[in-house]
Structure 1
């Protein structure tokens, strides 16, 4: 009996000692990674290089900074350019990063694509509001991307009639007067045959409403007939020339080489994704 009591007492004492031991502190939760807003980042990459000053694109600073810090960490961008301003140095650095992944052509145009932006941010940031041009499709005998097609369809719905293309996208060298704007995606020319001046303006307005930088072009401006030129803002397949046009549109310019004042109908400027969120 005494032996039994001793063993039992020993167990009890051990139990008391165990219960008195301090609990291990829970492991600290890993810090949440910052988020990069892809929509804002791509927009800044179009507007910032066209500015005459260092004004930042509203809502883009934190995202651009995260991207620039990641490019700096890869020795692609000097520290002095890590400032939240997606200017020409950052565009060039991002294009170099795209080439380092084996991309070329439009896939290395300096505009962040969803895949490259996500890879650049591994263990550094997450990507929100991802955008993509989508697959290439046919419209009126021309090639456009799915995002552009959806935008055109919505513009037609607003207008109540069909609009017909006179030039599509992905058409490098197809029309020298286009100065490379149609080399990539997101850019179309629209036929205005039979349209009155008021109707041409209405079409340009509808295109702007759904997220195009759009202008009525006349023969006095270049070696071309009357038409409407439209570039889809934030299409990540835009050629460098088309990127410049969309940036100039935000700065109140006409998208031509003379960088004159915008001569199109005034509407609140927005991207296709912004339009979709409000309609």
Structure 2
């Protein structure tokens, strides 16, 4: 539930160039190859996928051209290759993963034969590896994994692992109201749950303090998470969350994660974050490194 109005797009107006690649031309997910290293010369540059994903979530939500810390140099390498393929104007090779870069990356994904979520403009392992062929190697790969079930709802393996860890931290067995990959499942969601990483949890029987504890734990393991109330929209009380850095996110979910990084509540009203502060903000992979 709790949809965020998507950021405006700025199409480049350039057609996607045909991509000659060894990868199969199909509409399969852009996230499931066995190796994180791109082919190419031994001395190829490195592109940190996790850093690029962070910028891809935050930068389209920024009101200005501020660069995401630690990501700009990696984004520039991605943008240079997009420009080489004719899907991004040279003036946008600036290290800012804004709407022009988001649209250009989507065009590149479509040139590989991807569609739907696999052409969402967010780098997946397959497409980033193909883009870097001969130009850069891909490091710090983020893999959502295959689709699995938890409490009857569909998630990817990464999101399920995050939920199980948040359950462990809070000693609460979650009651899932809505999972991921659920297009049209709830019209009030407005597409937030169409892709990966999204979850709504029932909060019946939880005290206000316990609800806050669950939101805090979910943020700790790498979710943008909030306790939603009927006063905020046409929904009952629930906990809504989206996994940070999930390459399978829908556009509304991506916008929510960007807003979370920017200290907002992830709703169309663009108000300040109303959840418990958890600093620093970490992804699931970052959380795992602290354990």
| TM-score (ref. length: structure 2) | 0.85
Residue 33 of structure 1 deviates from its aligned partner by 1.2
Provide structure 2 residue ranges, at least 5 long, that are not aligned to the other structure: 1-40
| TM-score (ref. length: structure 1) | 0.88
Q: Residue 9 of structure 1 corresponds to which residue in structure 2?
A: none
Which SS does the other structure have where 1:220 is aligned? Answer: helix
Which SS does the other structure have where 2:232 is aligned? Answer: coil
Q: Which has the larger radius of gyration?
A: 1
Residues of 1 paired with 2:95 and 2:43: CA distance?
Answer: 21
Q: Residue 15 of structure 1 corresponds to which residue in structure 2?
A: none
Which SS does the other structure have where 1:43 is aligned? Answer: helix
Q: Is 1:256 equivalent to 2:267 in the alignment?
A: yes
Q: Is 1:35 equivalent to 2:29 in the alignment?
A: no
Name the one with the larger helix percent. Answer: 1
Pairing of 1:94-109 with structure 2 (within 5 A): 94-109=105-120
Q: Is 1:243 equivalent to 2:226 in the alignment?
A: no
Q: Residue 136 of structure 1 corresponds to which residue in structure 2?
A: 147
C-alpha RMSD over aligned residues: 0.9
Residues of 2 paired with 1:178 and 1:259: CA distance?
Answer: 17
Q: Is 1:270 equivalent to 2:270 in the alignment?
A: no
Runs of 4+ in 1 over 2 A off after TM superposition: none
Residues of 2 paired with 1:71 and 1:134: CA distance?
Answer: 26
Q: Residue 7 of structure 2 corresponds to which residue in structure 1?
A: none
Q: Residue 192 of structure 1 corresponds to which residue in structure 2?
A: 203
Larger RCO (alpha carbons 8 Å, 6+ apart): 2
Residue 31 of structure 1 deviates from its aligned partner by 7.2
Pairing of 1:147-226 with structure 2 (within 5 A): 147-226=158-237
Residues of 2 paired with 1:161 and 1:168: CA distance?
Answer: 17
Q: Residue 12 of structure 1 corresponds to which residue in structure 2?
A: none
Residue 276 of structure 1 deviates from its aligned partner by 0.6
Residues of 1 paired with 2:122 and 2:236: CA distance?
Answer: 31
Provide structure 1 residue ranges, at least 5 long, that are not aligned to the other structure: 1-29
Q: Is 1:50 equivalent to 2:47 in the alignment?
A: no
Which SS does the other structure have where 2:231 is aligned? Answer: coil
Task: Report Cα offsets for 1:102-121 as digits up to 9, x if no partner.
Answer: 00010000000001000100
Residues of 2 paired with 1:254 and 1:136: CA distance?
Answer: 28
